[in-house]
Amino acid sequence: MKLHRLFPLLLIAFAVPSHGQVRPQARVDSLLLAVSDALDHYEQLAPAIHCEDGTEKTLRDSCKTVLEMLGKDVKDAREKIAHYNQLSSPQLVDLFDIYQILQRIMEGISHLGYASELYGEHNSMLFADAYNHLVKIDGWFGTEIRGAIQETGKRSDCRDARKAG
């Protein structure tokens, strides 16, 4: 199934509830498990990326720098997920912190894939594989965060209207 066809289903399946906590815990747990799985997948792919296959020295150097940054970002994402899981009453901002680091990881992988043809077929396939695994999770996570923010805003507007009325 194509991503553009799957996206509306994700929107419906993960709609924000109109009351209660930011997200039902089972849904958040499922989302964070999917993020962790995508990070695991990236970590399995990363050692197979051969920056030295780049056609130019600047590409090779850039690749090494991006891989180092991605390694740090993946570690940071894992720490933020672990911190979230330890909170007794997690808030939306805690999920947003995870989303931000996931965005940085996506940017790094996109940066590598930008000129993937200049890194050889082997690396191009790895870049595409990493991107494809993470873009789905990033879209799902983004939908969750946007929905939670919108719902929080709606609840706030309702309270303001009740106070004014």
Over residues 35-45, the pLDDT tens digits come to 999 999 999 99
Query: pLDDT tier at 92 (50, 70, 90 boundaries)?
Result: confident
What pLDDT, on the 0 to 100 scale, is given for residue 70?
Answer: 95
pLDDT: is 104 or 11 the higher one? 104
The values of phi and psi at residue 55, to 5°, are -75, -15
What pLDDT, on the 0 to 100 scale, is given for residue 16?
Answer: 42
Q: Residue 120 and residue 113: Cα distance in Å, rounded?
A: 11
61: tokens are 């150097």
* Mean pLDDT over the full length of the chain: 80
pLDDT: is 75 or 138 the higher one? 75
Q: Residue 24 and residue 28: Cα distance in Å, rounded?
A: 7
153: tokens are 């805003």
What pLDDT, on the 0 to 100 scale, is given for residue 141?
Answer: 81
